[in-house]
Amino acid sequence: MPTTVSSKDCSYQKHQRLVSKADFSRIFENNQRSVDPLFTVLGKNNDLGYARLGMAISMKIAGNAVRRNRLKRAVRESFRHAGDTLPAIDFVVMAKAGATLADRGKLRHSLDRHWQKVSEKCAA
């Protein structure tokens, strides 16, 4: 029988979101980077004790709102599932054109590798 995890355990909460221009600017200026054909992920250590996520997924890359929202959902889901395994890092995910054509499995695999690579670079 499959085990279920309560939504509270794996939720993507407000305090885990990067929303201010200052937060994004800080990460864009000085960061650790991981790049592949689907995404570019930037990361920078924070002093908060938990990871936060910001997304920069443009309409120009996605093509339309449906594709853009699909990508954003995939990024949030991957971040949510990585959950407590991520160190205290602020991540910014930028999608590339190839991401709109990839299936969910490829998106998830790519993002899982990015979380790991950026975490390792920030720890060094």
**Domains observed in the chain:** 16-123 (3.30.230.10)
Helix axis angle for 65-82 and 104-123, nearest 10°, is 50
pLDDT in tens, 20-49: 899 999 999 989 999 999 999 999 999 999
Tokens of 63: 């093509």
pTM of the model: 0.86
Over range 108-117, report the average pLDDT.
95
pLDDT at 7: 44
pLDDT at 11: 66
pLDDT at 10: 61
Q: Is the pLDDT of residue 8 over 80?
A: no
Q: Is the pLDDT of residue 104 over 70?
A: yes
User: Pick from 97, 88, 92: which is nearest to 111 by CA?
Assistant: 92
If you write DSSP's letter for every residue of 34-86 in order, what string do you get? EE-SSEEEEEEE-SSSS-EEEEE--HHHH-SHHHHHHHHHHHHHHHHHHGGGS
